[in-house]
């Protein structure tokens, strides 16, 4: 039995830890994942269903859930558990069949609309999740408020530096850096211009915008 402890981990760490555990299995075995909330249960079981494996989950106590993943080929329903049926989902498709590569465009230092604090947490989670994809994007474009993420003081620099090391091209709008007074504080990637941004988006096989 392989155990993954994701208690206290924020999204997307429970899924990332589960993914790594499944990839590192050297022989058929059971994998158990512990999480502390129902959202994490749903996220992990949905991911497992997309891999073609079966999972059962149960609430052990308040704030503690167990997810059992059968990697032996023999799936049995456990007492007090419920089998998680595969859900239909587009998932994270690999970049195949596209004329160009995948380009991520980020126009803000936060993700979505609503509470700014939550939006920043979501953006941090999004960029970390991006580093965990089997196929990384070809380029990431930062403009407007997103330009702040590539500069001194950003709490996502390590994730961006990791992707740059993996040959992901990181480009930040020079006009935006000038506007925010950040041109001398750029820490990762290089400065670009609006023509290159438009050209890159026009030639992309797929564009992802959080």
**Which residues belong to the active site?**
11
Q: By C-alpha distance, which of 165, 183, 185 is closest to 174?
A: 183
Please say whether the beta carbons of 170 and 157 come within 8 A. Answer: no
Residue that has been written with the tokens 């590192």 in this structure: 24
Q: By C-alpha distance, which of 7, 6, 10 is closest to 122?
A: 10
Beta bridge pairs of residue 103: 139, 207
Taking CA 147 as the corner, what is the angle to CA 146 and CA 153, rounded to the nearest 5 degrees? Answer: 100
46 three-state secondary structure: helix
Q: By C-alpha distance, which of 147, 193, 140 is closest to 168?
A: 140
Spell out the alpha helix ranges (H) of the chain. Answer: 13-23, 38-50, 116-131, 157-165, 174-179, 194-203
């Amino acid at each position: 039995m392989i155990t993954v402890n994701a208690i206290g981990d924020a999204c997307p760490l429970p899924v990332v830890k589960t993914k790594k555990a499944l990839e590192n299995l050297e022989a058929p075995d059971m994998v158990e994942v512990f999480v502390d909330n129902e959202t994490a249960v749903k996220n992990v079981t949905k991911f497992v269903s997309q891999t073609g494996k079966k999972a059962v989950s149960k609430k052990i106590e308040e704030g503690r859930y167990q997810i059992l993943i059968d990697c032996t080929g023999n799936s049995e329903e456990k007492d007090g558990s419920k089998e998680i049926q595969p859900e239909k989902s587009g998932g994270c498709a690999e970049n195949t069949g596209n004329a160009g590569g995948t380009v991520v465009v980020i126009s803000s230092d936060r993700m979505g609309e609503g509470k700014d604090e939550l939006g920043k947490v979501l953006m941090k989670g999004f960029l970390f999740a991006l580093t965990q994809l089997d196929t990384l994007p070809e380029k990431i474009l930062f403009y407007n408020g997103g330009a702040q993420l590539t500069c001194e003081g950003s709490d996502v620099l390590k994730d961006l530096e990791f992707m740059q090391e993996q040959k992901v091209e990181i480009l930040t709008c020079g006009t935006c850096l000038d506007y925010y007074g950040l041109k001398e504080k750029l820490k990762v990637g290089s400065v670009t211009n609006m023509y290159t941004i438009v050209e890159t988006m026009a030639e992309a096989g797929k564009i992802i915008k959080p």
